[in-house]
Amino acid sequence: MNKKLVIANWKMNPQTLLEARKLFSTTKNTASRLKKTKVVVAPPFIFISSLAGTKSRLYLGAQNVFWETRGAFTGEISPSMLSEMGVQYVIVGHSERRAIGETDEIVSKKLKTLIREEIIPILCVGESERDNHGHYLSFLSTQIKKSLAGIQKRNIKNIIIAYEPIWAIGKTASDAMDSHKLHETVLYIRKVLSEMYGRDIAKAVSIIYGGSAEPGNVAELMKNGNVMGFLVGHASLDVKGFSEILKIVDKS
Ligand code: 13P
């Protein structure tokens, strides 16, 4: 998994299937011209089956999943339902879901189910604020350790970690994280992974960044931030801007 990776998290957008189709097909065109970058779109569940089907260089993701495989769980979606639709990636533990009750324990259950189903989990972690005493580091460490609780060494390489500091989400490029601070944080995440799984495994895990990734900052974040890609929110809904991001990442 040494290709660069950009994941579009559409969140609860767009509002119609027509718009979703347009956005998907333009993104597909750009993705097909990239050489070194894998592109994933995670639309709302309801659009997935309409966007699936044709073989293309654009991969499908989902924004959530349930941890049980079948049964009486009203309103939930199972991993095998997603697999059947061609979904290969699922975002787990996004801060917007954690804010409405998704705990580290739930995250860990979802990761295990996804691994069993051979779907690649994108585990989101990130602090809500930074302080001068480094408390955010111990927060991050605990969040990573609890979210990965019970995940075995042989499976960890198949999980992508998306570092998304909550304070940088939904803003503009100038409010996003500084690339040198990102670099430090990525090193710290690898240190935590190394304590859990050893250095070689920690080095092999793919880490991407999310939080106001825009055309104006991705080149710098990629160059000095030590990440192999991005989880993009609002900028992935802007056809032109997202194409630009993809081209910049591919060239970086
Ligand atoms: P923005 O790119 O809108 O800041 O969102 C980031 C995010 O939450 C992606 O999952």
Query: Separation of 170 CA from ligand 1 center, angstroms?
Result: 6
Q: Check pLDDT > 90 for residue 87.
A: yes
Q: Check pLDDT > 80 for residue 50.
A: yes
Span 23-39, pLDDT tens digits: 999 999 999 999 999 99
Query: Separation of 214 CA from ligand 1 center, angstroms?
Result: 10
Domain ranges within the chain, ordered by starting residue: 4-251
Which candidate, 225, 103, 107, places its Cα nearest to that of 176? 225
**Mean pLDDT over residues 153-177, rounded?**
93
**What are the DSSP calls for 41-79, one per residue?**
EE--HHHHHHH--S--SEEEEES---SSSSSS-TT---H
pLDDT at position 175 is 84
What SS3 state is found at 1? Answer: coil
Atom of ligand 1 nearest to the CA of 11: 10
Query: Which of 231, 245, 249 should be mutated for ligand 1, with most atoms under 8 A from CB?
Result: 231
Fold of the domain spanning 4-251: TIM Barrel (3.20.20)
Span 100-134, pLDDT tens digits: 999 999 999 999 999 999 999 999 999 999 999 98
Active site residues: 94, 164
pLDDT at position 2 is 64
Q: 208: which strand partners? A: 162
Query: Which of 232, 236, 245 should be mutated for ligand 1, with most atoms under 8 A from CB?
Result: 232
